[in-house]
């Protein structure tokens, strides 16, 4: 999968793309990330990419021409078939389901907003999909773009073990159950005995119950949308009313 990132600060991605799973995925040719400096498409000698907002107000707004020209030049014949994401605090929430949808494409374009935002004509002309990674405001879209790359790239076939993805938080509509590894006891805290039993059915039951209880405690909004069986509902009855499942 190819990611094309349009940014004013390409060096912000240094290091993020050269470690761990993303590095290995790039080395194996499963994922490629191409950084494009929007200033390269500015038309004046000052390489201007922002200006004061019409109608007044604080801050600056990213100009439409450099962004539109950059995206059109880079995507070229694939402009109409490539999803174009504009990272914006006012966009729709980024979710695991959206990541799975985007991972089906062979190419994805990400526009990193800055300052007070992007001229609205960019969205109208490029038919962007505005996306937010959370209910807070970043200084720019670069960190948000890096998050999206990491989340989507993990879902590209071959990047990580498919079984790991299936068991993760949000994939099943619930938060993931607690995880443990060696040693079996640390500072008086023991690994739950069921996990040491070797009884796969009991372990699966415990994990499902813990996932349900953890979701109930931390993200009850997810439970309202989850598809629960009657057995799941019985497991939920055993969850504590308050506190996190541990």
Q: What is the pLDDT of residues 8-48, one digit of tens each?
A: 999 999 998 999 999 999 999 999 999 999 999 998 999 99
With 80 as the cut, is the pLDDT of residue 245 above it? no
Residue 71 pLDDT exceeds 80: yes
Q: What pLDDT, on the 0 to 100 scale, is given for residue 169?
A: 64
pLDDT at 28: 96
So what's the pLDDT on residue 168? 63
CATH 1.10.1270.20 is right for the domain spanning 167-237: yes
Cα gap 221→216, rounded to integer Å: 8
Q: What is the pLDDT of residues 111-149, one digit of tens each?
A: 999 999 999 999 999 999 999 999 999 999 999 999 999
Arithmetic mean of pLDDT, 169-175: 78
Its CATH class, for the domain covering 2-161, is alpha beta
The pLDDT assigned to 144 comes to 98
Q: What percent of the chain has pLDDT over 70?
A: 96
What are the domain boundaries of the chain?
2-161, 167-237
């Amino acid at each position: 999968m190819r990611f094309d990132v349009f940014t004013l600060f390409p060096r912000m991605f240094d290091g993020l793309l050269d470690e761990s799973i993303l590095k290995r995925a790039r080395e194996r040719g499963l994922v490629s990330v191409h950084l494009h400096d929007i200033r390269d498409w500015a038309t004046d000698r000052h390489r201007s990419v922002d200006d004061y907002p019409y109608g007044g107000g604080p801050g600056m707004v990213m100009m439409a021409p450099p962004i539109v020209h950059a995206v059109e030049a880079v995507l070229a014949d694939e402009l109409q078939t490539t999803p174009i994401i504009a990272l914006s605090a006012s966009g729709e929430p980024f979710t695991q389901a959206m990541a799975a949808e985007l991972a089906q494409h062979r190419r994805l374009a990400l526009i990193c907003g800055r300052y007070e935002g992007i001229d609205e004509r960019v969205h109208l002309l490029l038919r962007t999909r505005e996306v937010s990674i959370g209910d807070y405001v970043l200084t720019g879209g670069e960190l948000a773009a890096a998050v999206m790359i990491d989340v989507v790239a993990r879902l590209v076939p071959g990047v990580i073990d498919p079984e790991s993805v299936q068991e993760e938080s949000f994939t099943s509509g619930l938060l993931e159950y607690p995880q443990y590894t060696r040693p079996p006891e640390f500072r008086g805290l023991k690994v739950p005995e069921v996990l040491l039993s070797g009884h796969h059915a009991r372990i699966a039951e415990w994990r499902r119950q813990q996932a349900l209880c953890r979701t109930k405690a931390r993200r009850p909004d997810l439970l309202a949308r989850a598809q629960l069986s009657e057995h799941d509902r019985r497991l939920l009855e055993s969850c504590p009313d308050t506190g996190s499942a541990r």
